[in-house]
Chain A
């Protein structure tokens, strides 16, 4: 089976740094995605980690530890527009490579 856990909701202040965690238990592993979804809109791709370590892309970074079944998304210099849901998804080759999504973390950024 597959199980992906993320916090339901987080709040942070504009200009601050926030870390959104994701833990997973899957029968196999072939990569982890992070997607951003604003209310009423389509999810948009943020990052994809296959190997352990940190991937940095502008204000957003994503970290993966395969041995711990753990990832986090780090958002720096938070802006109001970063208020959205952040979805963690794992691709499992045992599951036909179909990404399985967690429930998402709703991030609220306040002034």
Chain B
């Protein structure tokens, strides 16, 4: 596609439910990043995929968070048993290689009630 696509754009869920957030990176980009942005805060790194290498999960805040990237393309971020503190904008980005600039999607606004 022309840019990084994320879905849904908005997600409202109840505390304790599981949610899945999807990211379609730019075709041919080998690197894919997930960040989250809370109100008034900077971008917090979550997880990074580079080609066929094992993902860098060092930013995941708890074991309720997981992500996968299938076929080196689409990625899904899953949050289990959501908590109110998980409410944030989840941003996905991709880059051609690990040394190139990042292109961001518009994000998923997650609200946990």
- A residues with a Cβ closer than 8 A to B are 4, 30-31, 33, 35, 41-45, 48, 87, 89, 96-104
| Closest Cβ–Cβ distance, residue B72 to chain A (whole Å) | 18
Give A4 to B41 CA distance when docked, in angstroms. Answer: 13
**In the complex, what residue of chain A is closest to B104 when comparing beta carbons?**
A42
Beyond A97-B98, A101-B35, whether A45 also contacts B103 by CB under 8 A is: yes
- The contact of B99 among A4, A89, A97, A101, by CB within 8 Å, is A97
Beyond A33-B101, A48-B101, A96-B48, whether A42 also contacts B107 by CB under 8 A is: yes
Instruction: Decide if A100 touches B107 in the complex (CB within 8 Å).
Output: no
Beyond A87-B42, A98-B45, A101-B35, whether A42 also contacts B106 by CB under 8 A is: yes
Instruction: Decide if A101 touches B42 in the complex (CB within 8 Å).
Output: yes
Cβ–Cβ < 8 Å partners of B65 in chain A: none
Instruction: Decide if B101 touches A98 in the complex (CB within 8 Å).
Output: no
Contact sample, A vs B, 17 pairs, CB 8 Å cutoff: A4-B42, A33-B101, A41-B106, A42-B91, A42-B104, A43-B91, A43-B104, A45-B102, A45-B103, A48-B101, A87-B43, A89-B43, A97-B99, A98-B45, A99-B102, A101-B43, A103-B41
Give A55 to B98 CA distance when docked, in angstroms. Answer: 22
Cβ–Cβ < 8 Å partners of B25 in chain A: none
Q: How many residues of chain B get a CB closer than 8 Å to chain A's CBs?
A: 21
Give A100 to B91 CA distance when docked, in angstroms. Answer: 14
A-contacting residues, B47-63, CB 8 Å: 48, 50, 56
Instruction: Decide if A98 touches B48 in the complex (CB within 8 Å).
Output: yes
| Closest Cβ–Cβ distance, residue A97 to chain B (whole Å) | 4
Cβ–Cβ < 8 Å partners of B40 in chain A: 103
Give A100 to B35 CA distance when docked, in angstroms. Answer: 10
Give A14 to B94 CA distance when docked, in angstroms. Answer: 34
Instruction: Decide if B56 touches A98 in the complex (CB within 8 Å).
Output: yes
Give A95 to B50 CA distance when docked, in angstroms. Answer: 13
**In the complex, what residue of chain B is closest to A91 when comparing beta carbons?**
B99
